[in-house]
């Protein structure tokens, strides 16, 4: 069996390709979303309990190769699998979507984390589109100089910014839709994470169109493992290991 970690669009595309090729595949989802988009093949939900428990799971489920296709900010599981796979001899590949890059007309400020992003808001904008996900919003809980449109898939836990409105939505997004959102709510600043990928990139195109500043939170350090940038590359890698197994 091939194990895919992650509920990203790339993880689902890879699971579909492997399932259609009659290669046994199980996708492991974090379980933080109550109604996730389910991938093809087998599915498990919830954490493993750390590197040792994950290693036991790999041994007990005849995993012949693992693809870490988690979100670029899912630090904990990537650290765990980078320890568990070498301990069990299971090959590991990281499917890492490329970071976003600035284009002509962009006005970005890159910061290392959410707290740094919160500290930079006051001089840049008063009405903020905040798309950093439902985890970590406490970093913005004391920012009372701005109003926030907080977009995430499900209601986030408190604390939240004092002045905010929730926009519960799931990508992919379009340029037309993002421009409409910005105009309706008079957004003058976008705060987001460098998640990469085409599904949520339209907000950056819209910010460029409206000449809005963007605060971009850089990705955290990840373990150094063998990595590819495309689903096609990950599929070929997994297929070779499935055939060898």
Do 121 and 192 share a domain, yes or no?
Answer: yes
Mode of pairing for the β-strands spanning 42-45 and 164-168: unpaired
pLDDT for the residue 109: 98
The count of domains in the chain is 2
pLDDT at position 37 is 82
Query: Is the same domain home to 89 and 131?
Result: no
- For residue 199, the enclosing domain spans 108-217
Give a yes or no: residue 172 inside a domain.
yes
Q: Are residues 209 and 225 part of one domain?
A: no
Provide the token pair at 88: 């069990």
**Model-level pTM?**
0.91
pLDDT value of position 36: 79
Report yes or no on 103 lying in a domain.
Answer: no
Beta-carbon contacts of residue 96 (< 8 Å; ≥ 6 apart): 72, 222, 227, 228, 229
CATH of the domain at 32: 3.40.50.720
| Under 8 Å between Cβ of 26 and 41 | yes
Query: What confidence score (pLDDT) does residue 30 get?
Result: 85
Q: What pLDDT tens digit does each residue of the chain (245 aa) get?
A: 999 999 899 999 999 999 999 999 999 998 766 677 889 999 999 999 999 999 999 999 999 999 999 999 999 999 999 999 999 999 999 999 999 999 999 999 999 999 999 999 999 999 999 999 999 999 999 999 999 999 999 999 999 999 999 999 988 999 999 999 999 999 999 999 999 999 999 999 999 999 999 999 999 998 999 999 999 999 999 999 999 87
């Amino acid at each position: 069996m091939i194990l895919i970690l992650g509920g990203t669009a790339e993880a689902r595309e890879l699971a579909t390709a492997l399932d259609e090729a009659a290669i046994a595949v199980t996708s492991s989802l974090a379980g933080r979303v109550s109604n996730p988009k389910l991938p093809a093949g087998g599915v498990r939900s919830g954490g493993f309990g750390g590197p040792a428990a994950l290693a036991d799971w790999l041994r007990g489920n005849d995993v012949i190769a693992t693809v870490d296709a988690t979100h670029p900010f899912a630090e904990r599981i990537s650290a765990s699998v980078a320890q568990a796979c070498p301990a069990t001899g299971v090959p590991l590949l990281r499917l890492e979507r490329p970071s976003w890059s600035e284009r002509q007309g962009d006005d970005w400020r890159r910061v290392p984390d959410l707290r740094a992003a919160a500290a930079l808001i006051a001089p840049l904008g008063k009405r903020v589109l905040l798309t950093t996900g439902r985890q970590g919003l406490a970093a913005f809980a004391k920012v009372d100089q701005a109003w926030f449109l907080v977009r995430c898939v499900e209601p986030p836990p408190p604390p939240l910014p004092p002045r905010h409105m929730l926009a519960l939505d799931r990508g992919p997004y379009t340029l037309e839709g993002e421009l409409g959102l910005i105009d309706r709510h008079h957004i003058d600043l976008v705060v987001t994470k460098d998640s990469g990928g085409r599904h949520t990139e339209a907000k950056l195109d819209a910010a460029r169109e409206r000449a809005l500043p963007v605060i971009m939170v850089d990705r955290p350090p990840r373990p150094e493992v063998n990595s590819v940038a495309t689903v096609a590359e990950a599929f070929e890698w997994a297929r070779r290991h499935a055939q060898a197994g």
